[in-house]
Amino acid sequence: MITIVFYLIVLLFSVVIHEISHGAMADYLGDPTAKYAGRLSLNPLRHLDLFGSIILPISLLILTRGQGPIFGWAKPVPINPYNFRDKKWGNLKVALAGPLSNFFVALFFGFLLRFFSLPFRLFDFLSVIVVLNLLLAIFNLVPIPPLDGSHLLFSLLPEKTLRIQQFFFQYGIFILILFIYLVFPLIYPLIFWIYRIIVGQPF
Q: Give the start-to-end residue ranges of the domains of the chain.
A: 2-199
Q: Give the tens place of pLDDT for each residue, 47-67.
A: 888 887 888 777 877 776 666
pLDDT in tens, 130-150: 999 999 999 999 999 889 999
Q: Is 159 a catalytic residue?
A: no
Catalytic residue among 11, 14, 17, 19: 19
Q: What is the DSSP string of 60-89?
A: HHHHHTTSS-----PPPPP--GGG-S-TTT
**Which of 59-68, 85-94, 151-160, 193-202 is the least confident region?**
59-68
Looking at residue 65, its amino acid is: R
**Whole-number Å distance between alpha carbons of 56 and 190:** 22
Average pLDDT of the residues of the chain: 88
At 20-30, the pLDDT tens digits run 999 999 999 99
Q: Is the pLDDT of residue 174 over 70?
A: yes
What is the CA 198 to chain-centroid distance, rounded? 19
The pLDDT, as a whole number, for residue 68 is: 61
User: What's the pTM?
Assistant: 0.88
Flag whether pLDDT at 185 surpasses 90: no
Can you point out the beta strands (E) in the chain?
A: none
H/E segment holding residue 33: helix 33-36
